[in-house]
Structure formats: structure tokens, C-alpha cells
Amino acid sequence: MDGTIEFYTRINALLGPTMAVLDFGAGRGALLTDGYCDHKKKLMTLRRKVAKVVACDIDEAVLSNSGLTKPW
């Protein structure tokens, strides 16, 4: 079993439309764009499932992450 799918399935079960998510180590969002299957991308994309997705990363690449509402 794919650990990423298992992890994001659990995360999605906890999400609500008024929540904010803080993504530590978000980086450039490579996991959303680097050839993963559509099912995995859908699970990993949190942007339209919650009110806000905020990123925290020391790498400036986070500024190009399309899965975020706001880099921090």
C-alpha cells in the first residue's frame, strides 16, 4: 500500500471547509506536479477543501507552490 495515499486519506477525513491547514516543509509542491496519478493528486490537493492552506518552509521555492493559499 502507498503510504502517501494512506496518510492523505486520513487527513482528508478530518478536513472541514472552515479549517486552516499549516503545511510545514511545503517546498515547491513537487508532489502535486511530478507525475503522480490523478487519485493521489486529488487526495494531496487541500486548497479547495479548507478555507486556507498556509505554507512554512525555509526554501524560497515555497513561493512557487500552487497548492497554497498563502506562503509564510
> In sequence order, which residues have a C-beta less than 8 Å from that of residue 71 and are 6 or more positions away?
26, 54, 55, 57, 62, 63, 65
Tell which residue, 70, 61, 1, has the closest CA to residue 30. 61
Query: pLDDT by residue for the chain (72 residues), tens digit each?
Result: 678 889 999 999 999 999 999 888 777 766 655 656 888 888 888 888 999 988 888 888 777 777 766 555
